Amino acid sequence: MAGNSFGTLFKLISFGESHGEALGGIIDGCPAGIKLDFQAIQNEMTRRKPGQSAIVTQRKEDDEVQFLSGIFEGKTTGMPIGFTVLNTNEKSGDYSHIKDVYRPSHADYVYEKKYGIRDYRGGGRSSARETVSRVVAGAIAKQILPQIKINAFVSSVGEIFIDKPYQDLDFSKIESNAVRCPDENTAKKMEDFIKEIRKEGDSVGGTITCVLQNVPVGLGEPVFDKLHAELGKAMLSINAVKGFEYGSGFCGAKMKGSEHNDLYNSDGTTKTNLSGGIQGGISNGMDIYFRVAFKPVATIMQKQETINKDGNLVEMQGKGRHDPCVVPRAVPIVEAMAALVLADFYLINKTQK
Where does this chain bind ligand FMN (CB under 6 A)? Answer: 57, 106-107, 126-128, 238-240, 295, 297-299, 322-323, 326, 329-330, 333
Q: At closest approach, how far in Å is the CB of 88 from ligand FMN?
A: 18
Name the residue nearer to ligand FMN (CB basis): 18 or 84. Answer: 18
What is d(CA 339, CA 58) in angstroms, rounded to the nearest whole number? 28
At a CB cut-off of 8 Å and minimum separation 6, what does 113 contact? none
Name the residue nearer to ligand FMN (CB basis): 76 or 126. Answer: 126
Q: At closest approach, how far in Å is the CB of 11 from ligand FMN?
A: 22
Q: At closest approach, how far in Å is the CB of 107 from ligand FMN?
A: 4
Q: At closest approach, how far in Å is the CB of 106 from ligand FMN?
A: 5
Name the residue nearer to ligand FMN (CB basis): 162 or 333. Answer: 333
Q: Residue 251: CA atoms inside 13 Å, Cβ hemisphere, count?
A: 10
Name the residue nearer to ligand FMN (CB basis): 291 or 322. Answer: 322
What is d(CA 63, CA 4) in angstroms, rounded to the nearest whole number? 20
Sign of CA dihedral 229, 212, 39, 54: negative
At a CB cut-off of 8 Å and minimum separation 6, what does 166 contact? 209, 211, 289
Q: Please report, as a single letter, which amino acid is at residue 116.
A: G
Give alpha helix (H) positions in the chain.
Answer: 38-48, 108-115, 131-144, 184-199, 227-236, 257-260, 327-349
What is d(CA 27, CA 9) in angstroms, rounded to the nearest whole number? 10
At a CB cut-off of 8 Å and minimum separation 6, what does 348 contact? 8, 9, 221
Name the residue nearer to ligand FMN (CB basis): 145 or 334. Answer: 334
Name the residue nearer to ligand FMN (CB basis): 47 or 329. Answer: 329
Q: At closest approach, how far in Å is the CB of 24 from ligand FMN?
A: 18
The DSSP line for 272-296 is --TTTTEETTEE-SSPEEEEEEEPP
Name the residue nearer to ligand FMN (CB basis): 286 or 325. Answer: 325
Q: At closest approach, how far in Å is the CB of 255 from ligand FMN?
A: 31
Q: At closest approach, how far in Å is the CB of 221 from ligand FMN?
A: 27
Order of strands across the sheet with 65-67?
5-6, 11-15, 22-28, 81-86, 65-67
Q: At closest approach, how far in Å is the CB of 238 from ligand FMN?
A: 5
What is d(CA 307, CA 172) in angstroms, rounded to the nearest whole number? 47
CA distances in angstroms from 272 to 231, 292, 322, listed in the order given = 22, 22, 41
Name the residue nearer to ligand FMN (CB basis): 276 or 324. Answer: 324
What is d(CA 115, CA 99) in angstroms, rounded to the nearest whole number? 15
Instruction: Give the SS3 label for residue 24.
Output: strand
Instruction: Give the SS3 label for residue 92.
Output: helix
Question: Nearest to residue 240, comparing CAs of 165, 293, 312, 167?
Answer: 293
Q: At closest approach, how far in Å is the CB of 318 from ligand FMN?
A: 7
Name the residue nearer to ligand FMN (CB basis): 57 or 284. Answer: 57
